[in-house]
């Protein structure tokens, strides 16, 4: 992944003095990575009348951000100058990044995406006085294979697999920010579903097929609406530390696929235990901590 030059595309340069003064009063929020989750949150924050800055690594994606952000920017997290320019004058930063690929990427690309962005963000924040909050989106897959046992935020993490080690290291870099005046919150998400990522379509395509593994590994899911709502919840409450963000359902891969296939009256998925599973997660991820803060799930125990 090559670094790009920062291209700040600000559409407010022609605004009146009164409009500029009004902008100064707005809460300034910035989203590093306007993909599936980032765009949904940008759209929500835009309606909240925050002043939203959103980033993409590709110039051709700017048009998708023009109506849901005030300031769409082309930038790359592995470029220190890009990050420094991007977070200038911001108050809240959301980090929602992922490698750009339709397929499994190499560990090197994974590291360049997550670790480089985390290091640059922390380096820049050490010389920034406006940012007071960082919300970093991670993955529940950091728990790895717990043999189906319950995993909460204090459980040991997977540092044996290449990808798990990278995710854990990126988390630790962000959580290691040595600034008492900046709240840092890490949300470990389950598998994401929602509009355009409907479960009935994804699992329906697997109907009648044989998948690797025995299907006995536990999976965790979270709806896009709950991600957006939970981000705003921790944003408003000022939560810091680590929180699991998964729904209440504790289903194995087999139970999950059977449920979706049966609902559509489709042939069930078969399993081949002689082959390793696609998923590295096998834990019943616990969401008690964020519920204890007062968060109420939209889709706690149903899959839509």
Phi, psi of 146, rounded to the nearest 5 degrees = -105, 15
Q: Is residue 259 part of a domain?
A: no
Residue 99 token pair: 């490698």
Comparing CA positions, the residue from 106, 90, 81 lying closest to residue 45 is 90
CA distance 170 to 116: 8
In a domain, 279, yes or no: no
Domain of residue 133 covers: 7-192+221-246
- Return d(Cα 302, Cα 124) in angstroms, integer: 41
Give the model's pLDDT for residue 20: 52
Please report whether residue 129 resides in a domain. yes
- In angstroms, the CA 241 to CA 175 distance is 7
How many Cβ atoms from other residues are within 10 Å of residue 198's Cβ? 14
pLDDT in the model for residue 3: 38
* Cβ 242 vs Cβ 153: under 8 Å: yes
* Assigned token pair, 32: 């590093």
In a 3-state reduction of DSSP, which class is residue 213?
coil
CATH of the domain at 113: 3.40.50.720
Q: In this structure, is residue 253 part of a structural domain? A: no
208 in any annotated domain: no
Nearest to 93 by CA among 72, 121, 59: 121
Q: Which of 247, 146, 230, 218 is nearest to 187 (CA)?
A: 230
Q: Does 119 reside within a domain?
A: yes
Region of residue 274 (phi > 0: left; psi between -120 and 50: alpha; otherwise: beta):
alpha
The total of structural domains in the chain comes to: 1
Q: What is the pLDDT of residue 9?
A: 41
Task: Please check whether residue 49 lies inside any domain of the structure.
Answer: yes
Q: What is the pLDDT of residue 35?
A: 95
Nearest to 114 by CA among 161, 185, 163, 57: 163
Average pLDDT along the chain, 304 residues, taken 10 residues at a time: 40 48 78 97 96 96 96 95 96 93 77 96 96 98 96 96 95 95 97 95 95 96 98 97 98 96 96 92 97 98 89
Report d(CA 274, CA 122) in Å as an integer: 43
Do the domain assignments include residue 213? no
Nearest to 269 by CA among 182, 224, 202, 178: 202
Neighbour-count burial of 156, counting CB atoms closer than 10 A to its CB (0-12 exposed, 13-18 middle, 19+ buried) = exposed
């Amino acid at each position: 992944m090559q670094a790009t030059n920062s291209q700040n595309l600000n559409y407010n340069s022609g605004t009146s003095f009164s409009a500029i003064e009004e902008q100064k009063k707005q809460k300034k929020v910035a989203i590093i990575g306007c993909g599936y989750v980032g765009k949904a949150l940008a759209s929500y924050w835009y309606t909240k009348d925050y002043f939203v800055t959103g980033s993409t690594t590709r110039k051709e994606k700017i048009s998708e951000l023009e109506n849901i952000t005030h300031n769409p920017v082309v930038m790359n997290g592995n470029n220190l100058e890009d990050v420094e320019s991007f977070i200038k004058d911001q108050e809240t930063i959301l980090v929602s990044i992922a490698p750009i690929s339709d397929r499994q990427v190499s560990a090197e690309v994974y590291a360049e995406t997550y670790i480089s962005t985390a290091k640059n963000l922390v380096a820049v924040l050490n010389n920034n006085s406006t940012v007071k909050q960082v919300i970093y989106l991670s993955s529940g897959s950091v728990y790895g294979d717990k043999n189906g046992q319950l995993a909460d935020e204090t459980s040991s993490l997977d540092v044996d697999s290449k990808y798990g080690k990278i995710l854990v290291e990126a988390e630790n870099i962000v959580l290691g920010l040595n600034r008492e005046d900046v709240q840092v919150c890490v949300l470990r998400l389950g598998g994401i579903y929602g509009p355009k990522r409907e479960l009935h379509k994804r699992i329906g395509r697997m109907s009648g097929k044989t998948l690797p593994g025995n299907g006995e590994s536990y999976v965790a899911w979270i709806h896009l609406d709950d991600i957006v709502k939970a981000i705003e919840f921790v944003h408003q409450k000022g939560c810091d530390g680590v929180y699991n963000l998964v729904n209440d359902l504790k289903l194995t891969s087999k139970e999950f696929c059977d449920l979706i296939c049966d609902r559509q009256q489709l042939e069930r998925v078969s399993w081949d235990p002689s082959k390793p599973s696609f998923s590295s997660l096998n834990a019943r991820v616990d969401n008690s901590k964020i519920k204890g803060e007062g968060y109420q799930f939209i889709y706690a125990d149903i899959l839509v």
